[in-house]
Amino acid sequence: MRTDTGHVFKLEDYRPSDYLIPETKLDFRLSPEATTVVARLTVERRQGVAASAPLVLDGDGLTLRRIEINGAKAKPADFVATSDQLTIAKPPVANRFELLIETELMPSGNEALMGLYRSSNVYCTQCEAEGFRRITYFLDRPDILSVYTVRIEAHRDAAPLLLSNGNPVDKGNLADGWHYAVWHDPFPKPSYLFALVAGNLGKVADSFVTLSGRNVELGIYVEPGKEQLAGYAMDALKRSMTWDEQAFGREYDLDVFNIVAVSDFNMGAMENKGLNIFNDKYVLADQDTATDADFANIEAIIAHEYFHNWTGNRITCRDWFQLCLKEGLTVFRDHEFSADQRSRAVKRIAEVRTLRAHQFPEDQGPLAHPVRPRRYREINNFYTATVYEKGSEVVRMIRTILGPENFRAGMDLYFERHDGDAATIEDFLKVFEAVSGRDLSQFALWYHQAGTPNLTVSSAYNAGTREFTLEIEQSVPPTPSESRKRLMHIPLSFGLVGAGGKPVDYAGVDGAHVEDGVIHVRKRRHTVRFSGVAERPAVSLNRGFSAPITLSVEQKADDQFFLAGHDSDSFSRWQAFNTLLTDALIAAVRQITGGEPPNFSTRLAELAGRIAGDEALEPAYRALALALPGEADIARDIGGNIDPDAIFAGRQALALAIAGANKDTFAAFYAGLADKGPFSPDAADAGRRALRNILLDYLALLPGGAGLATRHFGAATNMTDRAAALTVLAHRHSASAEATEALATFEAKYGSDALVMDKWFQIQAGVPGPRTVETVQALTAHPAFSMANPNRVRSLIGTFASANQTGFHRADGAGYRLFVQTVLEVEKRNPQVAARLATALRSWRSLEPGRQAKAREALLSIANAENLSADLRDIVERTLA
């Protein structure tokens, strides 16, 4: 385990390496305890670099066995080797030379799951961000692009399958039951995209014909016996390949494309060139074991990793500060794919909910950083919602500002200009300036400046002059190391909505640049005047969530109710209702903390009933609208002195008020949404199930609710309905015999299926209330649980710490004590997973004083532990700062 060195990497310190490695040949002889790796590197001194410049290669925990320079054994005086670095002080004078390095690894002992490891009898690699240096000494940085040829040798019985990047070029038998395979990737790539898989796996085969008529062999490799669970993933892959040709003109470039699903994996998936490696939860699915959300995630993540072939692989990032260039852009591309495959309106709402739940708190807390960070201590800790989700929103804003045609032209130029490059954010922005003629220098602050901008908006209508005025003021709150903020370019999409939801026309506008329904907010204050407005409109702002901002709008409740029922923009219509719900919940929390019972307007409950039954709206849309803001969302909007118990009580009270006011209509809708045909994971059927299951959640609060949920559980023909009913029983009726029996039934049926048992752990970890601490503690001893498996840890500990506000933040600090114990235990094996768990306390300062003190004590307990990894120390110290 690499402990903290205290070194801070800064963007301003970037300089090109003195050396390049244009060609890399790797020979692996695989063995669980002693794998040998022979790396033959062609090294070139960069033009203009002095011959005396040393060659310094990165390593991490390596054992060096041999080194040769130009075919001759290196003398001890020629190099200095430690487990973490290899320095050749006096390389050959010639500008190009050959370097051979032999290292020895122990894949079976690699529980960090970085570099080459062996899990469930399968050899696997994970090299992003800095895992390749755990395999051999190398210039392990993204701007070193090399052509790889890989030879793998293994005993055939242990590893009949041998895979690497690129195209297969040779294979054959060796003595003593061994065999080999050779792979060659003709496209230069950085070391983080190297991949190797070897083991005994089943294969699902298919093929794809590209736009130019090339045939590509497709393979998805899974644990033997699970091949039938990979069909949806294969279908998603082929749809992704077609979509990328149509939407971005990007064709696949190798002869084969392989996906491997493994059960022990730190991330969701990895886009290694031609050999994607996936967490098996994002590949394996059927109606009995996977929910509709699982199917949607498989579709999106398969697409995301495939889209990286161009945005990440063919064009990679110059350095890790540019991580958003590949991740934010590719998230945007997978969002667009999912929107086209499913419902654009529903997808957009889901994206914004995810952004607000994960990225907004990040921007508002001690871990805030720009979309392109300027400094880091541990790059693994910057695979964040800011880089991914906010990075995607920045790309979306570019399209909003330039329009679809200029955006596509800019992307085409980006691919043309930078294919084969390690690019920067500046390179990316320049192509859009080139095709549009616009100056994006102020807009570039979205990449350079942390924090969530806020727009304060008020409006006035003068019937005499027929003038409608918007007063807009922007601000960006201070973030760590950034107390003073510069003014942003914010594209604010808007609409003026009149009677019946019809748009209100205007003759002219001044006070800001307004184009195609977008107000371009560039100054601190704008007074935007619309002339020739015949009636007072309700103003719809940030339509489609055109910018990742918060809004403080002086708007009457009547206008919000009107927009919730009539806004033609589907996102803004949802937002109006969600704002009404949020305002009601915040008021309820204040009433509860003040010792008063919460009081809700019947008008709000009636609106919920109308939305539930509005056949003009998609069922999935109605389900999202009826989903109350989460407890963490409410806490974020309250801002400080948070009492999780009061928030939970207020949310329960509002849910009960809505259920009580609509019990008959909800029951009728629920009955009418029952299955009427064979299962399909498509958007229409998934939406129907989503609406029915949220109605079940409301109805379960009423008398007889446990019985209804029990019948739903027993009648379920798919995992979506079964897991929804179990969640309702466990969360709404946790002390009931029905909940206990349903949990036992689920465990008995799926006890041998690890991925389904993750749902069982997750449901129990999310049970609200103080008793869940002891439940989670007991479940860590369950035979199906393992601290060594990231999926198990995330399902139980991750859910408890991040999604159970009342249980985790138990007033006596018991949740925090369990958290500290678990994080330190996980860190011994896997620092990366431990560090991500630790982010659950990023908002500790917003808690009420008692909990705040206990949370700080927990963080200090972790910070004071001996031999803390660089990953975990970085998160904890920034959280405490």
Residues tagged active-site: 305
Selection from 804, 817, 758, 818 nearest residue 782 by Cα: 758
DSSP 8-state code for residue 3: B
Residue 642 per-residue DSSP state: B
- Sequential DSSP letters for 439-465: --TTTTHHHH--S--EEEEEEEEETTT
Angle between helices 870-880 and 831-838 (to 10 degrees): 10
- Using an 8 Å Cβ cutoff, are 240 and 307 in contact? yes
Instruction: Name the nearest CA neighbour of 58 among 39, 76, 81.
Output: 81
Spatial strand order of the sheet with 215-222 comes to 202-209, 215-222, 256-262, 275-279, 269-270
Spatial separation of the C-alpha atoms in residues 609 and 662, rounded to whole Å: 6
Chain center to CA of 543: 24
**Tokens standing for 425?**
């954010």
Backbone angles phi, psi at 228, to 5 degrees: -70, -15
Are 460 and 491 in contact, with CB atoms under 8 Å apart?
no
**Is residue 173 classed exposed, middle or buried when 0-12, 13-18 and 19+ CB atoms within 10 A define those classes?**
exposed
Q: Are 846 and 822 in contact (CB under 8 A)?
A: no
The DSSP string of 740-774 is HHHHHHHHHHHTT-HHHHHHHHHHHHT--STTHHH
Distance of CA 596 to the CA centre of its chain: 40
Residues in the chain: 881
Q: CA 22 from chain center: how many Å?
A: 33
Give, in order, the Cα–Cα distances in Å from 456 to each of 238, 397, 497, 578, 819: 45, 20, 20, 18, 39
Residue 167 has φ and ψ, to the nearest 5°, of: -110, 145
DSSP string, 274-342: TEEEEEGGGT---TTT--HHHHHHHHHHHHHHHHTTTBTTTBEESSGGGHHHHHHHHHHHHHHHHHHHS
Q: How far lies 262's CA from each of 222, 257, 762, 872, in Å?
A: 7, 17, 20, 25
